[in-house]
C-alpha cells in the first residue's frame, strides 16, 4: 500500500504514520519527492487498511500498488525518476554514465593503465572484477583482495568511481569496503541471500539482469534490495539467452523503455556481455544511447588479445575512444532533434 502524504506534511506527521505502519508488523519505506512524500507500507495489506490512516493528520490518500514489486514500481515514486549518486557521480536523469574497464583485474599495471585510458576518454567509473563468477572452476577466478586494492589505487590516481562484483555473501564486506558501487552479476540475480545483503549495504548496487530472466523477475530482484532499505539500485541489461548464435547473448534493448515505464530505477546497458563480439559493441552502444539508456558499462583492456577473460568482446583503447565520441555524437543528435528532411504535412 502506498500512503501519499499531503503537500507540506511535517516530519512528525510522517513519523507518526511510519510508527503506526510498523506497529502492525509491516515495514515502512519513506520516499521524499520534490513535492510529495510517499510512504510504502510493505506487508499484509489488510492490516494497513485496518489502521484507518485516511483522514489522519498529514495523510492525503492511500493507493494500493497492484504490481508484485512495490518499491521498484514507477507508481511508488509517482512518476519521478530516481537518480543514483555514486559518491558524486550521477546515474539516471539527464546524466549518461560511462563505466568502462577490464572484465577482470589482472595486475596493478593493467588496472592503472586501463583506468588512465578510460578516464581520459570521459568514463566516470572504472569496472573490473576481483572476484569472478567463471563458468569453469579451472578458469582464472580473480585476484581477490589484491585486485580490490589495485582498483582503489586507480581511483586515487584518476578520480574514477569503482564498480566491482561481489559474488557471495562471504566476501561482500570486503568488496563493499573498497568499492563505490557493488555489482551483482547475471548469475546471481536470484541469489536472494546475496540480494538481501546488498540491500543492507550503504553502497549503490549495479544489478545485472539474469540471462534468462523476465522483466518481472528482474524488478523483483531489485525489490529484494530495496525492501532491505537500500534504495540505490542501478539496473543493467546485459543480454539474454536466445536461439540466436551470431552473438553470445541477445541484447534486449526493448527492456530499456519497458523498465522506464514500469520502474523509477535507472537502467544502463552492457553491450560487451550483451553481444560477446567486439565488432558489435560500438553499434549496440549507439543503439543504447538512442533507446534512452542511462549509461553504458563496457569492457576495455590495453591489449584485449591478452586479456585473461572475455577478450573477444573487449575493446582496445582506440576502439573505446571511438565509442565515446560516437556515443556523444548520437546524444547530441538526439538532444538537437533536428530533422533535416523535407517537412511532411
Binding site for ligand PEP (CB under 6 A): 103, 129, 133, 185-187, 208, 238, 273
330's CB contacts (< 8 A; 6+ apart) are 286, 289, 290
Q: What b/e string do you get for 322-334 counting C-beta neighbours within 10 Å, with b at 16 or more? A: ebbeebeeeeeee
What is the C-alpha to C-alpha distance for residues 98 and 270, in angstroms, rounded to an integer? 10
Please report how close the Cβ of residue 279 comes to ligand PEP at its closest, in angstroms. Answer: 19
What is the C-alpha to C-alpha distance for residues 106 and 132, in angstroms, rounded to an integer? 11
Contact partner, 208, from Mn ion, ligand PEP, none, Cβ < 5-8 Å per class = ligand PEP
From 34-42, 138-146, 247-255, 302-310, give the range in contact with Mn ion by CB under 5 A.
Answer: 302-310
Residue closest to Mn ion (Cβ): 103
Cβ distance to ligand PEP smaller for residue 89 or 238: 238
Please report how close the Cβ of residue 164 comes to ligand PEP at its closest, in angstroms. Answer: 9
Cβ distance to ligand PEP smaller for residue 211 or 289: 211
Contact partner, 238, from ligand PEP, Mn ion, none, Cβ < 5-8 Å per class = ligand PEP
Cβ distance to Mn ion smaller for residue 88 or 137: 137
Binding mask 67-106 for Mn ion (x = CB under 5 A): ------------------------------------x---
- Regarding 270 and contact with Mn ion (CB under 5 A), the answer is no
Torsion (CA) 310, 311, 313, 319 in degrees, nearest 10: 140
What is the C-alpha to C-alpha distance for residues 45 and 54, in angstroms, rounded to an integer? 14
Torsion (CA) 203, 208, 209, 210 in degrees, nearest 10: -110
Cβ distance to Mn ion smaller for residue 103 or 181: 103
Cite the DSSP H helix spans in the chain.
11-23, 45-50, 108-120, 145-158, 172-178, 192-199, 215-227, 255-262, 271-275, 278-291, 317-336
Please report how close the Cβ of residue 281 comes to Mn ion at its closest, in angstroms. Answer: 12
CB 330 within 8 A of CB 316: no
Report which DSSP code applies to 209. P
Cβ distance to Mn ion smaller for residue 92 or 271: 271
Please report how close the Cβ of residue 186 comes to ligand PEP at its closest, in angstroms. Answer: 4
Cβ distance to Mn ion smaller for residue 17 or 240: 240
Please report how close the Cβ of residue 24 comes to ligand PEP at its closest, in angstroms. Answer: 39
From 223-231, 256-264, 305-313, 325-333, give the range in contact with Mn ion by CB under 5 A.
Answer: 305-313
Q: Which of 234, 236, 230, 229 is nearest to 252 (CA)?
A: 236
Binds Mn ion (CB under 5 A): choice among 189, 240, 310, 315: 310
Applying CB under 5 A, the residues found at the interface with Mn ion are 103, 310
Amino acid at each position: 500500500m502506498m500512503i501519499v502524504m499531503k503537500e507540506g506534511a511535517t516530519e512528525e506527521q510522517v513519523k507518526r504514520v511510519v510508527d503506526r505502519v510498523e506497529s502492525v508488523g509491516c515495514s515502512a519505506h519513506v520516499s521524499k519527492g520534490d513535492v510529495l512524500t510517499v510512504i510504502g507500507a510493505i506487508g499484509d495489506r489488510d492490516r494497513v487498511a485496518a489502521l484507518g490512516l485516511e483522514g489522519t493528520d498529514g495523510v492525503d490518500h492511500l493507493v494500493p500498488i497492484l504490481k508484485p514489486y512495490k518499491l521498484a514500481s514507477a507508481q511508488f515514486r509517482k512518476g519521478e525518476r530516481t537518480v543514483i549518486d555514486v559518491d558524486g557521480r550521477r546515474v539516471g536523469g539527464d546524466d549518461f554514465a560511462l563505466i568502462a574497464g577490464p572484465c577482470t583485474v589482472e595486475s596493478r599495471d593493467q588496472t592503472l593503465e586501463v583506468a588512465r585510458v578510460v578516464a581520459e576518454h570521459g568514463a566516470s567509473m572504472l569496472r573490473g572484477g576481483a572476484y569472478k563468477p567463471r563458468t569453469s572452476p579451472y578458469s582464472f577466478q580473480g585476484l581477490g583482495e589484491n585486485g580490490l586494492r589495485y582498483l582503489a589505487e586507480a581511483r586515487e590516481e584518476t578520480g574514477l568511481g569503482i564498480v566491482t562484483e561481489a559474488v557471495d555473501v562471504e566476501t561482500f564486506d570486503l568488496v563493499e569496503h573498497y568499492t563505490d558501487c557493488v555489482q551483482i552479476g547475471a548469475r546471481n540475480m536470484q541469489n536472494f541471500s546475496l540480494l538481501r545483503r546488498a540491500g543492507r549495504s550503504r553502497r549503490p548496487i549495479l544489478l545485472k539482469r539474469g540471462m534468462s530472466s523476465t522483466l518481472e523477475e528482474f524488478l523483483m530482484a531489485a525489490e529484494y534490495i530495496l525492501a532491505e532499505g537500500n534504495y540505490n539500485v542501478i539496473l543493467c541489461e546485459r543480454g539474454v539467452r536466445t536461439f540466436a548464435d551470431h552473438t553470445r547473448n541477445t541484447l534486449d534493448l526493448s527492456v530499456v523503455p519497458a523498465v522506464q515505464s514500469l520502474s523509477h530505477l535507472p537502467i544502463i546497458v552492457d553491450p560487451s556481455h550483451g553481444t560477446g563480439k567486439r565488432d558489435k559493441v560500438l553499434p549496440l552502444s549507439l543503439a543504447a544511447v538512442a533507446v534512452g539508456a542511462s549509461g553504458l558499462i563496457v569492457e576495455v583492456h590495453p591489449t584485449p588479445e591478452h586479456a585473461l577473460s572475455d577478450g573477444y568482446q573487449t575493446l582496445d583503447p582506440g576502439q573505446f575512444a571511438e565509442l565515446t565520441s560516437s556515443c556523444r555524437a548520437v546524444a547530441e543528435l538526439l538532444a538537437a532533434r533536428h530533422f533535416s528532411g523535407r517537412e511532411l504535412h
